[in-house]
Amino acid sequence: MSTTSLTAGNMIAAIVQWLILLVLLRVYVYKPLLAAMQRRKDNIAKQIQDADILREQAQKLHDEQQALVRSARDDAKTIIAAARREGEEQAKKIVETAQREANYRQKAALEEIQHERDLALSEIRGQVADLVLMATSKLLERDIREQDQHHLVEEFLAEAGSLQ
């Protein structure tokens, strides 16, 4: 036999060898290999999905924090503005109170001074009247009821005061 001989037995043997090898490889090699490849594909798909979800969550957190920071900043701004306004108002109030107080004190002091002056004046008037009475009664030695004379002198002095 040569290599160019065609023998039915060898032809069938070649086919059977191919088929047996196909069955063996399918069961022992291709099946686990394809399963592993499929698992790897699934894993990668899952990891990509997980990464997407994580990224979304991170984005959401980031947005939330951004919003928080923004609102905190706004809050701080309003608080500062309110505090400033309040401070200014308070300062104004303090100044006003102080002004009022000062005015009141000044007024009171003036009134007191006026009062003292009036008091002093009336006392002086009284004394002057007494002195004048004494002087005139001594001079005139007239028996005049003290009170009527005193009254006359007062009138005289009041007229003299208004003329001043």
# chain residues binding other proteins, by CB under 8 A: 34
Q: Does 45 bind other proteins (CB under 8 A)?
A: no
> H-helix or E-strand containing 15?
helix 8-25
Among 124, 133, 127, smallest CA distance to 153 is for 133
Residue 33 in the binding site for other proteins (CB under 8 A): yes
Alpha-carbon distance of 100 to 44, in angstroms, equals 82
Q: By CB under 8 A, what part of segment 10-29 binds other proteins?
A: 10-15, 17-18, 20-22, 24-26, 28-29
Shortest distance, CB of residue 58 to other proteins, whole angstroms? 26
Contact partners, residue 128, CB within 8 Å, separation at least 6:
157
Instruction: Please state, in angstroms and rounded to a whole number, the distance separating the CA atoms of residues 132 and 144.
Output: 13
Give the residue from 75, 72, 94, 73 showing the smallest Cα distance to 83: 75
Tokens of 82: 């309110």
Span of 36-44, 88-96, 118-126, 152-160 interacting with other proteins by CB under 8 A = 36-44
Question: Minimum CB separation from other proteins for residue 42, in Å?
Answer: 9
Q: Which is nearer to other proteins, 41 or 107 (CB)?
A: 41
Residues binding other proteins (CB under 8 A) = 1, 3-15, 17-18, 20-22, 24-26, 28-30, 32-37, 39-40, 43
